[in-house]
Structure 1
Amino acid sequence: MLVLSLLPSFGFADFIGVVRVIDADTVDVGDVRVRLHAIDAPELDQTCETAAGQPFACGMWATAQVEARFGGQTARCEALDTDRHGRTVAKCRVGEADMGAEIVSAGWAFAYRRYGMDYDLDEKVAYVAGRGLHGYRVQSPAAFREARGQGRLPPDPACRIKGNISGNGQIFHVPGQEFYDRTGINEARGERWFCSEAEALRAGWRPARR
């Protein structure tokens, strides 16, 4: 009993290690790759928009905030699950701070309610206060990943014109046109991304009518 009373108050941990930030919801704790439980942050290559419509590299920004707050510190983690990528899903603490709660409260990530309601209130408070990502136009990270997987997001943000091949031939779509968002690019079929309309025209694509 005396030994237990002398233990620190942070409680049980499955593993302990120094934090190395991968992105705003994924870290290495020692040699364990951890996906923080019940939060979802913008992907590293994800961009958001300011109120004025200017692009903002929100994925890199959120990662930098988490790195500044937790990078190089010791975390104590409780493993909860393993995700489909083989990462350990865990709740982690640095000192007395629940990493997930602090990241969501600061507006660096969102509550991932699909996997738990742990940080629902933290996100609502951050939203009302307009903290972090809540001050920008942000596509949900899950929707961004889905769109990227379907070839609907450009690998280079500067080259956003979609060169699509259909029964109507080689047609390019520019942002803002009616069918732009729903058009996916399959490069294995010869479809392409273009950086300008002039480039698309030179390559033999014609503009979409709407």
Structure 2
Amino acid sequence: MVEHGQALDWPRYSHGAYAQQQTAAEGAKVGVWIGTFEVPWDWRAEHADKPATERHFGLINQGQVAQSYSCQPRRYCSQISSCEEAHWYLNNCSWGPKLDRDGDGASCEGHC
């Protein structure tokens, strides 16, 4: 999962056991590394003094909604609703490259 950017190496517990896989995923910009984010342990440390309701609902209260995609089950272009979603599948799922029929790097051309 770390290699595919779907989990993080938490050195506090893993003692860097997955550091190489994380570095590779970050360099390839896959999974969580496709954008920017704050690692969970840093976020929790910064928000530890806030009430639980603010910590839990902070993103929603700020008008930000997290989008969640999954590689299971496999999707086809007809089942994908946005260019962003198609791009995510292309870069994060083993079957993602099948969404780019002409090999130009753009998936589900009808959406993008």
Is the shorter-chain TM-score for this pair beyond 0.5, marking a shared fold?
A: no
If each structure's strand is expressed as a fraction of its own residues, which one has the higher value? 1
Please tell me the TM-score bracket, short chain as reference: 0.3 to 0.5
For the pair shown, the structure with the greater C-alpha radius of gyration is 1
Q: TM-score with structure 2 length normalisation?
A: 0.45
Higher fraction of helix: 2
TM-score by structure 1 length? 0.25
